[in-house]
């Protein structure tokens, strides 16, 4: 029933070697796995700029008070800009004060008063917007 000494010696050495082989394999396995993930590659990056152009035209009428201290400008149309998400219209009085409106509508009315009645020239600026970015302005003077 018992094992012979020579076989018992082989069994004992196999039992001693097996844990050592397993330990060596466990130590080498992470290095092999990590080696599979160390390859690097880079994708091509393309960057460009976009200058937001001014609207091509603005159709508007102006109505001034007799003293030219107040002007009402009604925009009835304007040239659309590719990629624009909205448009800002700014009416500036002769004294430098201004009012503005940002819209997606085709028509808008702006009213601005001026403390200075000497020049009598109001300026309308139209700017296309792409998100929060503002494009180049198209400016048109209007004399009262």
pLDDT digits (tens, 9 = 90+) for 63-90: 999 888 999 999 999 999 999 999 999 9
What's the pLDDT score for residue 119?
Answer: 85
Assess if residue 109 is contained within a domain. Answer: yes
Is the pTM above the cut of 0.75? no
Handedness of CA 114, 120, 121, 122 (dihedral sign): positive
Parent domain of 80: 58-143
**Residues 22, 83: one domain?**
no
Residue 39, helix vs strand vs coil: coil
Assess if residue 43 is contained within a domain. Answer: no
Strands of 70-78's sheet in order across: 58-64, 70-78, 108-113
**Residues 28, 68: one domain?**
no
Assess if residue 45 is contained within a domain. Answer: no
């Amino acid at each position: 029933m018992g094992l012979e000494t020579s076989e018992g010696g082989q069994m004992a050495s196999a039992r001693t070697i097996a844990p050592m082989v397993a330990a060596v394999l466990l130590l080498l396995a992470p290095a092999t796995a990590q080696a599979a993930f160390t390859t690097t590659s880079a994708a091509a990056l393309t960057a460009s700029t976009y200058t937001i152009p001014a609207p091509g035209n603005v159709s508007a009428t102006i109505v001034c008070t007799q003293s030219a201290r107040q002007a009402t400008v009604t925009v009835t149309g304007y040239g659309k800009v590719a990629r624009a998400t909205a448009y800002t219209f700014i009416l500036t009085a002769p004294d430098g004060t201004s009012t503005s409106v940002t819209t997606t509508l085709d028509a808008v009315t702006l009213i601005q008063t001026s403390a200075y009645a000497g020049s009598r020239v109001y300026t309308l600026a139209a700017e296309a917007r792409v998100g929060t970015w503002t494009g180049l302005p198209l400016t048109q003077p209007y004399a009262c």
